[in-house]
Structure 1
Amino acid sequence: MTTVSLEYIAAGGNRHSSAADWAPSLLAFGAGNNIALWNPEDERQNGISALLAGHEDAVNAVRIYENDGQRMIISGCADKTIRLWAATNETPSGFKETQRLTDHGNSINTLAIFPEQGLFVSGSADASVNVWHMQEATAKLVQTVSLKPRYLPLALALTSLPNGDIVLAVAGTSYNIQLYVRPRSGQTFELQATLSGHEGWIRSLDFTRESTSPQSDILLASASQDKYIRLWRFRQTAGKTTEAPNAIDELSTTSTKKSLSNKAHEVGSSSMKYAVTFEALLVGHEDWIYTARWEPKGGSRSPPALLSASADNSLSVWHSDAASGLWICHSRMGEISSQKGSTTATGSAGGFWVGLWQPQDHSVVSLGRTGSWRRWKFDQDSDMWLQQVGISGHVQEVQGIAWAPRGDYLLSTASDQTTRLLSQWKRQDKSSWHEMARPQIHGYDLNSIDAITDNQFISGADEKLLRVFNKPKAVDNLISKLSGTSSTVSGDLPDAANIPVLGLSNKAMAAADDDDQLNGLTNGDTDEREAVDPASVIHKSTLDLDHPPHEDHLARHTLWPEHEKLYGHGYEISAVATSNDKSLVATACKASSIDHAVIRLYDTREWREVKPPLTAHSLTVTSLAFSPDDRFLLSVGRDRQWAVFERSAENKDTYTLFSSNPKGHSRMILDCCWAPALAGYVFVTAGRDKAVKLWRLNGNTFETISTITTGTSVTAVSFRPDVASTTLALAYGCDDGSIHVAKIFPDTLAVQHTLTLDQRLVHCKTVNALRWRPQTEGSADSSQLASASDDFSVRIYNIS
């Protein structure tokens, strides 16, 4: 019996300030169209446990709703729908979709929940806020608030006053915060006050009580693109309202005179009125502020601490000083401006989009522009926030994957312009997968990748050329140390690499000893032009880690130095393949004519092009593959044909056309692969015509032996590279995200059995690549299959 389990999922978080929420033992966040589930408190550190599929566009808002022991996830999406997911033991993910709400007319941008009252509210780009009532885990629309003057809501918050009135704060693409109140006995929210003062769009709102007393004042935090956080106090009044006492924080003198007005606004019902006054202006961030969240209830401080996340790459914790009452930035995590480097590649744009508190412990997480989650835990002994291992993943369509020849690591490349290296972290009785390096951070979308050796890979991008990279010693040491594999790097490779200012090429560099004096930093008489940028210097201790690298390491210290550029193609690179003897690389580019639909060969010794290029196709070549003994090179394309080129007996670098089939499929062919040598010369092609065809060499041509028909276009195929097996295993992935594994008899090529992977484990969008992990002796009973998809995720399956 064949069993399939998910070993690993990598997916980056969506860049939206409302797209994540953290409850005990569950952090849920939007990842492309999916909702990713992660438990940061898990000791095994297995990363994302599941992706919930169903939405048809980017997930913008996620909230975890808990009431009466029932846990639900509420998600809002750019597809105009809100979906409710109930916790269950019936599915591998632990959740299933129970309701779909389609009342909004545009993208859902924000959600706020109030489980104590069975309420949640949603804000949409249709300039409306919907109020929903939850009854027995089912949501019912009870009110639609049309925002006037018209603006788009980006932030919502709910709280209740001691008398039972419910307050709804709404803000977004205007400079004001609107306060709506629903009386305890009423059914609808009415606008009662408008708070002005911000000078940019407002991205985040959050309520808290100043103390645990039921009669305590309520504080509202608002974070804006004007780089400031404003705090507002709700205080019970005896009846008449006056100008508030001088509650303005002295820091606020930096603001304009207009915003210094401290008029007390009044909210509440006739039974109890509350004065809303401006309490403090928090100054310190240097860029837009995306989120401001109060510390969860149960914290020892009164008032509680506030966590803010900003585009300036920092996460700040704000406390009220007991003596003066001033709000001060007590702790700052993230990156210091001077260490950002000069290019976006090293992290100087985008910053942190989300900052969240752990519900029951002194720990925080933040989501950065690269889709990676960073985590910090407060250490009482050192009185410091210490960074912990986070998770990461691509934030655009993953176009290609490739295993190292020994199977030590997996490379993935995507339209987010990065190449990432995934490997195992083995310690004692635990094992988990992590991103161990980010070899390439590019300026163009990356389309294809292949490993040449264990120390070298090649990637192709939209820039019309290919780049070859060498593994640096620091990354080799890290992988061998953490995954328990033997080192593969010889002594002549560099320690590390960096990207020069305004450059696209990773330059090799040597790591400095910790006690080396930096030129120009210590002796004041050094010429400024010779001074070294401290951000570009890497110390040896920086790279000597006993855990997977954190995001700031990945983005700056794990680049691979560039070895070679390969020119010749006139359009975006579409396919690349390395020969099994590692002596040749075959490449192709997008094409609409015979002139560009050529295959170029480069030898890997001197990196010169082997001329003339190979011609057979008239449109884009979509995939290339060398036979196990390199005798044949197979190509397939959008012109519906496949072509096989044969290696010259005299000159090993030369290939000539051996056989082709102009009508291999009735529609474009999307992928191809050779079977292991035990089957003879057999290859498989897959196409838009919903067919997988197996071809075998017969005389001077290849003939189709068998065909597997599917219900949708087949976009990726891969034969398992069996070491010792009597049957062939063929994995094929489809346009709908499904993955199948067919067991095939080598002699007849007849399908013995087909396994379809559980729909709840596979992708929700097109599968772009499938690759079996290279096998070693004795591993025939169990295999690992990696897949890459348009749903932004990379997955590794255990198939035994």
Structure 2
Amino acid sequence: MDEQQKGNMDEKGSFDNIDVYGIFIGAGCNRVVNTVAWGPSGLVAFGAHNAVAIFQPQAARILTTLPGHKDIVNCVEWLPRNKDIYKCDYGSLEEQFLLSGSADGVIMIWAYLPSHNKWRRVLQVPKSHEKGVTCIAGAMLNNLDGLFASSSSDGTVYVWGVGFPSQSGGDCNLSMLQTIHVGTRTMVSLALAELPGNAADWILAMGGLDNKVHLYVSERKGKFVPACELKGHQDWIRSLDFSIPAIAEGRMEIFVTSSSQDKTIRIWKISFHSSLSNFTEEAQSIHNISLKTYIEGPIFKLGTSVWQVSLESLLVGHEDWVYSVSWQPPLKSCIDNNNACWIQPQSILSASMDRTMMIWRPERKTGIWINDVTVGELSHSTLGFYGGLWSPKGDAILAHGYGGSFHLWKNVGLSVEDWQPQLVPSGHSASVLDLGWAKSRQFILSASHDQTTRIFAPWERRKDDRLEISWHEIARPQVHGHDINCMAIIKGEGNHRYVSGADEKVGRVFEASLSFLRTLQHTAWGHLGKQDVNNEDIQILGANMSALGLSQKPIYVQGSTTRASVASSQDFSDGMETIPEAVPVVLTEPPLEENLSCNTLWPESHKLYGHGNELFSMCCNHEGKILATACKAQSSNVAEIWLWQVGSWKAIGRLHSHALTVTQMEFSHDDHFLLSVSRDRHFSVFRLEKNGIDEVKHELVARHDAHKRIIWSCSWNARHHVFATGSRDRMVKIWKIKETKSESSVTELLILPQFSSSVTAVSWSPGSNFKDDLVAVGMESGLIDIWRVCLQVMTPGGEHFQPCQRFDTVTASRIIRLDIYLCHVATVHRLVWRETSESESSMLVNSSPTVMQLASCGADHTVRIFNVVIA
């Protein structure tokens, strides 16, 4: 920001120039087999709810999400693929293309421009499947022409020809070549390749529920016709992949590998047999089974050529379903007359539900295929891998698992192979319902229906001789057995604590472990909040999960220095033994998934009993002394709000006002009032006053029928007794509490113009450095607006809280709508602001503008953090 821009800012700041940048996206992968693809650009695409997410493995960061699908993204495929490098010149391609298919049968084509790091949606394939798309397989003819097939649970396989634009920004030419009806034999895996030779013939492999591999062949621009069926597997075919065509000892051949739920992998060789003129009538008929065809395998013809399929090898080693199998991408072997020679490495990667990935290679002497490399872990804690992928150069392998997590290994060895785990992005694998900033503003905590709470924090990492701040998941405090609906961070002095509420009707209190507090000091903002917590007073190193239970029991420091001991003095109702696997450690760099899943748990200190239904909302006051909780309700008796005393965790009050579920609550910034909004379309304001040590006097100040539909969200102004409510009626209303000596009342100040979608989240900025305020509004569509709200008062005000000001005018204007590539693709559930100091702002943007941070979470499984730069 130059001197002229600085001069334009008044004493308390303004919002004349505001920009919003996305700095973090946390998201897990959909629990589907074909939903991840690693492209030649080095980027990984994966399905995250209804969006296609893009992450960069080198930076361990999700770059963006592509909105457009209306249902879960089941499968993705890059064009060109990594294995198309032998016939495509990647360097001459201005754009690369990505195909995605969703559970509602829709297929979309996206274009990526690497030079500008820009994405655009090219088109939606005009003919949708009647049911979900299960797999997309593509291949390139050359730089501009390609072919892809899609399978669906509606019993059809579509084959499309696609012509890509020669320059960036152009349109694709799409033509439907064929519809293959497979009936009730649903196909869940596809593979497409060009047969070796100059005839440009194509072969399509399909596998599914009938335990067979079906081969279809086609001459260029012709129809695919059935060639033969490959039998041998005893369960569903889950994955298929072709090698690149080759000529071995003067004989043209190509390999296809298949994996199955029968725990085995089969490699089939398809080789040129003879020309049709030299082949007898008996051999031409695939229905005439002779002893020769039984031994050597089925034979099929295409044009003037005859091909034979034989079983090359049977790979046995996995202990559970093999969900994914793929050939290593081709490698450049030589350059002859400016033409590159490519070879197919004899390496196959498989991923299984036994939580391992294996690399299979033939022995040099015998040629027998063996398991050469195994990565992963045989663990009973979670289900295994849904898929495995090679990097473009074959020096890294990536797996995605049941919990939506990624696992990356890279070969860091020089003379010998040495596969080491690498950092990857992470996030929730189900809807994220709640989140909040830590009291010290060092990290953010989120709660999700994937039955976990997660902590994300910034980390300083060195890149190209300079330090960069990047966000990562650093802890998973709670791994539960019920969907977590809400949480509240306990503010005030003392150790970091939070309370979570789930479908089990019980509130659980967690306290930060010593290992987490020491880890926190290594983060980018580790200097914050040190005065609040004395690490010497914390005697719990970490926590262990109960076997077959829900409680997380503490591991004390005074146990063995080499192996943490489990305390037995705590009285937990579960009464089960603990799993002796957690090893809490102090992290000096962002942790890997293996550490997050079991070694970063927080111990549970208390349970809060009392509610009759599943907990749905909660909040803590700013002093950190009172917790308010509410549960799902269909009657006024159940919809009561419980007040708890922090520390003793005694119930100190019940507030009656609502008739249905309380959707959100928030304390005013001076803690005098508690605001609640409900499904009954009312908001309620309660005045709270301390009456002794263990009692709180409460009074219902106002109850208003405020909106025509459910009220989803509310938020207080930081300096006045003014608050905002957001509703399904697409309205945001701003209200003021008017106080006199005898009574208090609530009046409506302003109604914002109607939004395009239901308002599901509202958050008022701290605003201490500005004369106006920012109000962030999140919608059911996933969009986020930021509004400027100006409360002009008759008497000049300082920075202290002003509960009883008179307002001349109240104005509001939308100053920015976040780009759709930054926003959520489903309902925004929560928005929370964070005010940064001057030193933090300079670290974030390397200049002097003021930066506030806005965090959001939503039904699209993502947690997002934005830098709001005010110049």
| Partner SS state of residue 705, structure 2 | coil
| Partner SS state of residue 750, structure 1 | strand
Question: Could you tell me whether the CA contact under 8 Å between 1:371 and 1:394 is conserved in 2?
Answer: yes
User: How far did residue 243 of structure 1 move?
Assistant: 14
CA distance in 2 between partners of 1:379 and 1:798 (Å): 35
- Quote the residue 1:27 is aligned against: 44
- Matched ranges for 1:32-111 at <5 A: 32-42=49-59, 45=60, 47-66=61-80, 69=93, 70-88=95-113, 93-111=118-136
- Matched ranges for 1:348-359 at <5 A: 349=383, 351-359=384-392
Runs of 4+ in structure 1 over 3 Å off: 88-93, 209-216, 238-244, 260-263, 299-303, 486-489, 510-519, 537-540, 649-653, 774-780
CA distance in 2 between partners of 1:462 and 1:753 (Å): 37
- Quote the residue 2:543 is aligned against: 497
CA distance in 1 between partners of 2:321 and 2:385 (Å): 10
2, 18, 23: which one aligns with 1:2: 18
CA distance in 2 between partners of 1:489 and 1:280 (Å): 62
| Partner SS state of residue 648, structure 1 | strand
| Partner SS state of residue 761, structure 1 | coil
| Partner SS state of residue 476, structure 1 | helix
- Quote the residue 2:153 is aligned against: 125
Question: Could you tell me whether the CA contact under 8 Å between 1:86 and 1:98 is conserved in 2?
Answer: no
User: How far did residue 546 of structure 1 move?
Assistant: 3.2
Fraction of identical pairs, as percent? 34
| 1:691 lines up with 2:726 in the alignment | no
User: How far did residue 195 of structure 1 move?
Assistant: 0.3
CA distance in 2 between partners of 1:651 and 1:725 (Å): 38
- Quote the residue 2:5 is aligned against: none
451, 458, 464: which one aligns with 2:499: 458
- Matched ranges for 1:279-428 at <5 A: 279-298=312-331, 303-335=345-377, 337=378, 340-341=379-380, 346-347=381-382, 349=383, 351-381=384-414, 383-428=417-462
User: How far did residue 155 of structure 1 move?
Assistant: 0.7
Question: Could you tell me whether the CA contact under 8 Å between 1:769 and 1:789 is conserved in 2?
Answer: yes
- Matched ranges for 1:225-240 at <5 A: 225-238=261-274
- Matched ranges for 1:592-603 at <5 A: 592-603=634-645
User: How far did residue 517 of structure 1 move?
Assistant: 7.7
CA distance in 2 between partners of 1:293 and 1:628 (Å): 57
CA distance in 2 between partners of 1:716 and 1:561 (Å): 31
Query: Match for 2:67: what amino acid?
Result: A
Cα deviation digits, residues 472-511 of structure 1 (max 9, x gap): 1112222221334135453324111111211101111146
Query: Match for 2:538: what amino acid?
Result: D
What TM-score, normalized to structure 1?
A: 0.90
CA distance in 2 between partners of 1:637 and 1:577 (Å): 15
Instruction: Say which is worse superposed, 117-126 or 586-595, in terms of deviation.
Output: 117-126
- Quote the residue 1:633 is aligned against: 674
Query: Match for 1:661: what amino acid?
Result: R
Uncovered stretches (5+) of structure 2, i.e. residues with no partner: 1-16, 81-87, 165-171, 284-292, 334-342, 566-576, 793-808, 842-848
CA distance in 1 between partners of 2:596 and 2:652 (Å): 36
What TM-score, normalized to structure 2?
A: 0.83
CA distance in 1 between partners of 2:280 and 2:295 (Å): 12
Query: Match for 2:680: what amino acid?
Result: D
Cα deviation digits, residues 389-436 of structure 1 (max 9, x gap): 011111111111111011111111111111111011113411111111
Cα deviation digits, residues 15-73 of structure 1 (max 9, x gap): 2221111112211111111000112134xx4x111100111111111011136724111
716, 720, 725: which one aligns with 2:770: 725
Question: Could you tell me whether the CA contact under 8 Å between 2:749 and 2:810 is conserved in 1?
Answer: yes
CA distance in 1 between partners of 2:407 and 2:244 (Å): 28
Question: Could you tell me whether the CA contact under 8 Å between 1:512 and 1:537 is conserved in 2?
Answer: no
Query: Match for 1:451: what amino acid?
Result: I
User: How far did residue 141 of structure 1 move?
Assistant: 0.6
- Structure-2 change in CA distance of 1:632 and 1:555 (3 Å): same
- Quote the residue 1:434 is aligned against: 472
- Structure-2 change in CA distance of 1:709 and 1:91 (3 Å): farther
User: How far did residue 649 of structure 1 move?
Assistant: 5.0
Question: Could you tell me whether the CA contact under 8 Å between 2:20 and 2:867 is conserved in 1?
Answer: yes
| 1:618 lines up with 2:659 in the alignment | yes
User: How far did residue 100 of structure 1 move?
Assistant: 3.0
172, 177, 191: which one aligns with 2:213: 177
Question: Could you tell me whether the CA contact under 8 Å between 1:262 and 1:278 is conserved in 2?
Answer: no
Question: Could you tell me whether the CA contact under 8 Å between 1:181 and 1:267 is conserved in 2?
Answer: no
Question: Could you tell me whether the CA contact under 8 Å between 1:35 and 1:59 is conserved in 2?
Answer: yes
- Matched ranges for 1:217-232 at <5 A: 217-232=253-268
Instruction: Say which is worse superposed, 374-383 or 289-298, in terms of deviation.
Output: 374-383
User: How far did residue 651 of structure 1 move?
Assistant: 3.5
Question: Could you tell me whether the CA contact under 8 Å between 2:211 and 2:235 is conserved in 1?
Answer: yes
User: How far did residue 746 of structure 1 move?
Assistant: 2.7
CA distance in 1 between partners of 2:509 and 2:697 (Å): 22
CA distance in 2 between partners of 1:16 and 1:500 (Å): 29
Query: Match for 1:426: what amino acid?
Result: E
| 1:703 lines up with 2:764 in the alignment | no
Query: Match for 1:414: what amino acid?
Result: S
Question: Could you tell me whether the CA contact under 8 Å between 2:665 and 2:675 is conserved in 1?
Answer: yes
| Partner SS state of residue 706, structure 1 | strand
Instruction: Say which is worse superposed, 107-116 or 58-67, in terms of deviation.
Output: 58-67
User: How far did residue 514 of structure 1 move?
Assistant: 9.0
- Quote the residue 1:787 is aligned against: 856
Query: Match for 2:598: what amino acid?
Result: R
Uncovered stretches (5+) of structure 1, i.e. residues with no partner: 245-259, 520-531
CA distance in 1 between partners of 2:418 and 2:675 (Å): 58
508, 512, 522: which one aligns with 1:471: 512
CA distance in 2 between partners of 1:204 and 1:729 (Å): 51
Query: Match for 2:682: what amino acid?
Result: Q
Question: Could you tell me whether the CA contact under 8 Å between 2:195 and 2:245 is conserved in 1?
Answer: no
Question: Could you tell me whether the CA contact under 8 Å between 2:409 and 2:420 is conserved in 1?
Answer: yes
Query: Match for 1:11: what amino acid?
Result: A
- Structure-2 change in CA distance of 1:212 and 1:368 (3 Å): farther
| Partner SS state of residue 745, structure 1 | strand
CA distance in 2 between partners of 1:210 and 1:303 (Å): 12
| 1:140 lines up with 2:185 in the alignment | no
Cα deviation digits, residues 522-566 of structure 1 (max 9, x gap): xxxxxxxxxx99x724456xx243321111111110111111111
User: How far did residue 361 of structure 1 move?
Assistant: 4.2
Question: Could you tell me whether the CA contact under 8 Å between 1:588 and 1:600 is conserved in 2?
Answer: yes
User: How far did residue 282 of structure 1 move?
Assistant: 0.8
User: How far did residue 737 of structure 1 move?
Assistant: 1.2
CA distance in 2 between partners of 1:114 and 1:302 (Å): 16
| Partner SS state of residue 278, structure 1 | strand
| 1:553 lines up with 2:595 in the alignment | yes
- Quote the residue 1:199 is aligned against: 234
User: How far did residue 241 of structure 1 move?
Assistant: 9.3
CA distance in 2 between partners of 1:476 and 1:608 (Å): 27
Question: Could you tell me whether the CA contact under 8 Å between 1:241 and 1:275 is conserved in 2?
Answer: no
- Structure-2 change in CA distance of 1:228 and 1:775 (3 Å): same
Instruction: Say which is worse superposed, 742-751 or 443-452, in terms of deviation.
Output: 742-751
703, 717, 720: which one aligns with 1:675: 717
CA distance in 1 between partners of 2:294 and 2:385 (Å): 31
- Quote the residue 1:167 is aligned against: 203
- Structure-2 change in CA distance of 1:408 and 1:215 (3 Å): farther
485, 505, 521: which one aligns with 1:447: 485
Question: Could you tell me whether the CA contact under 8 Å between 1:471 and 1:489 is conserved in 2?
Answer: no
